[in-house]
Structure 1
């Protein structure tokens, strides 16, 4: 009898956890958020507590000029919450529990720690000048922060919530965006046209990869064998061998290549181009661009939804997030957010909201 009760309890808990967007229609989600059937992108009438629901699948978008962060509910496409931040917030990362978010504030040289349930800033951590790109260690203990205005990567102890050391890349180096795979940290230097590869245990640079002009966001393949580097000055997506640092492929995309997302199967990618106001679909196997979507003002950063059926692009030139339908390769809608949106990151617990 006890076993039966336990089984029922477990079933109820699982059903509750899965009661996010995986089991609700768009209309049900709108009703849940109290947003009615208003236009996409209008602020919902839902309280902040609902926006902070742990199982909600959302995008967080920092807005540089408005000094805030917009919370987008994925099923409805509505902004359901905002968080006031310090000066010029740029990028955001989440702890694996999705209970904390970290936002780099460029002009205040700090990192904000956000409680994602209350949507409140719990701590502001001083780091180096103009913090920009960030990555979090898999154990959630160390946040690596690139500071655009100097040669260091700053290490933040997330438990103590304070700076806990630096990685020195050498005189004249500039840090921008980062990607972490295993013990290797990849850091782009947009001024010196390089990517530094650092062993995070020894804090030593183990490889320096010369790139094309103005490398921006960097991504590593799931198997760790390839490094993808959009180079703004080349209007290209460059692909490097991570063991040797040698260029394997250079694929022409729109001018001002900025960020890239790689499909789970490793066969395709999408590259945003801030100066080119575009997003380019790339066939990685054939090493060529297949289609370019134009008319995306200041297309900056990009993120997939969970099922990779849509891509979300921050438009710094129009204060919006563009939603691109992957099947049709066309913009499906636009969501109004704060002024000059910069980064974008998905908040989604593993196994929750799988259809979003």
Structure 2
């Protein structure tokens, strides 16, 4: 290893690791082995016993290694998943803060006016750096999921549709019939003022710092740019056709927008310049980014497909035939699985590397979908049944029900997984703890 790193002795390796706050090489190797087993288990479904026997290792020694390194049993480790284990490794190290500011910093002037502005830089997505920045912001906070109890209801007029959680116990809700987004404070739960946006605000995407928001205005042919600290609109990105869904790259520089004319656009937010576009069949209000930031997933509604596109070029890299009416999608934290609600009555669990699919059927119309930050549970909004089903993500079985009434639309968890907020089209939001 010393030779591979260009060093002379193992003592230099040890000093280098110690200087950067990392564990000794032997411990680091053990963490690597555990992460390898966990990734293999998640991607293939194999048990730890099967993995170690395949590698010709002693099973009892492997189970002891897992517990010694992580402090968890293998079953607990599987529930935590790769992201949870990485956070645990981070908490046991003293890595110096060295995350670059640029990926998580929003452009200072986002008053976009159109493509006549200065040319945008090359289309680059910095997903891994932003993931590191996100981990740093969480600090030693442990992520989880709510107990699953409806604790409060905040009345909102104007047809609440989408919801986004910000830091500091604040959420933002689009009001499709009120041409505004509403600020919701969670402690105590209350409506705390609105920001005008333009016609039919549909989806909202928050910038990395939470100071900016991008809101699709369906019948205004633009995406509104909001300064959430000042509580006002500061600009707009012109988009031909009715903008429907929107998702922001991890570094906050590129906005992906679907339109009613069945296009997907990649927009450089600092100038409003459309950097790449591709036609998609029957675009809807949903799309998602892979956790790496390198791939975009687009459901095609009644066309029954999910498209995987390169985030840099918008070239289609894979097509998944789902059938039915595909709507809301969300990727797992490790990026191996994609979950999709289908308005024909089911939830799909799609293994992205192989295309294998499992389904869970409902007696109502699945619509909204959200994954808890710990990756343990899915919340599925059943639009015409007035309830939200709580699903064990790994087993793909219902483990609870939230009786919201009305028409539950979009759902969002806070970053730590302590609570969730459910927007209801009939005039309120529900808080779940």
Query: TM-score range with shorter-chain normalisation?
Result: 0.7 to 0.9
Larger Rg: 2
Distance 2:196 2:248 in 1: 22
Query: Does the 8 A contact of 2:180 with 2:194 survive in 1?
Result: yes
Question: Could you say which structure has the higher helix fraction?
Answer: 2
In the alignment, which residue of structure 2 is the partner of 1:306? Answer: 373
In the alignment, which residue of structure 2 is the partner of 1:215? Answer: 284
- Matches of residues 309-320 of structure 1 in structure 2 within 5 Å? 309-320=376-387
- Matches of residues 11-30 of structure 1 in structure 2 within 5 Å? none
Distance 1:226 1:143 in 2: 22
Distance 1:199 1:221 in 2: 19
Whether 1:321 and 2:381 are equivalent positions in the alignment is no
Distance 1:277 1:117, change over 3 A: same
Q: C-alpha root-mean-square deviation of aligned residues, in Å?
A: 2.1
Shift of 1:213: 1.9
Per the normalisation by structure 2, the TM-score is 0.61
Whether 1:131 and 2:201 are equivalent positions in the alignment is yes
Give the SS at the match of 1:337: coil
Shift of 1:287: 2.3
Whether 1:74 and 2:141 are equivalent positions in the alignment is no
Distance 1:250 1:216, change over 3 A: farther
Distance 2:205 2:166 in 1: 10
Whether 1:103 and 2:173 are equivalent positions in the alignment is yes
Query: Unpaired runs of 5+ in structure 1?
Result: 1-54, 59-72
In the alignment, which residue of structure 2 is the partner of 1:35? Answer: none
Query: Unpaired runs of 5+ in structure 2?
Result: 1-140, 420-432
Query: Does the 8 A contact of 2:326 with 2:340 survive in 1?
Result: yes
Query: Does the 8 A contact of 2:254 with 2:267 survive in 1?
Result: yes
Whether 1:87 and 2:154 are equivalent positions in the alignment is no
Query: Does the 8 A contact of 1:56 with 1:348 survive in 2?
Result: no
In the alignment, which residue of structure 2 is the partner of 1:7? Answer: none
Q: 293, 297, 303: which one pairs with 1:234?
A: 303
Distance 1:123 1:131 in 2: 16
Query: Does the 8 A contact of 2:283 with 2:298 survive in 1?
Result: no
- Matches of residues 1-356 of structure 1 in structure 2 within 5 Å? 74-75=146-147, 77-97=148-168, 99-170=169-240, 173-181=241-249, 182=251, 183-189=253-259, 191-274=260-343, 276-288=344-356, 290-349=357-416
Query: Does the 8 A contact of 1:152 with 1:175 survive in 2?
Result: yes
Shift of 1:238: 0.8
Distance 1:234 1:187 in 2: 19
Shift of 1:80: 0.3
In the alignment, which residue of structure 2 is the partner of 1:69? Answer: none
Shift of 1:268: 1.0
Distance 1:338 1:187 in 2: 31
In the alignment, which residue of structure 1 is the partner of 2:106? Answer: none
Query: Does the 8 A contact of 1:249 with 1:287 survive in 2?
Result: no
Distance 1:56 1:267, change over 3 A: closer
Q: C-alpha offsets along residues 4-27 of structure 1, whole Å, 9 cap, x if unaligned?
A: xxxxxxxxxxxxxxxxxxxxxxxx
Distance 1:78 1:141 in 2: 30
Distance 1:325 1:349, change over 3 A: closer
Distance 1:225 1:101, change over 3 A: same
Distance 1:56 1:102, change over 3 A: farther
Distance 2:199 2:393 in 1: 38
Shift of 1:333: 2.2
Question: Could you say which structure has the higher strand fraction?
Answer: 1
Distance 1:87 1:293 in 2: 33
Shift of 1:306: 2.6
Give the SS at the match of 2:230: coil
Per the normalisation by structure 1, the TM-score is 0.74
Shift of 1:218: 0.9
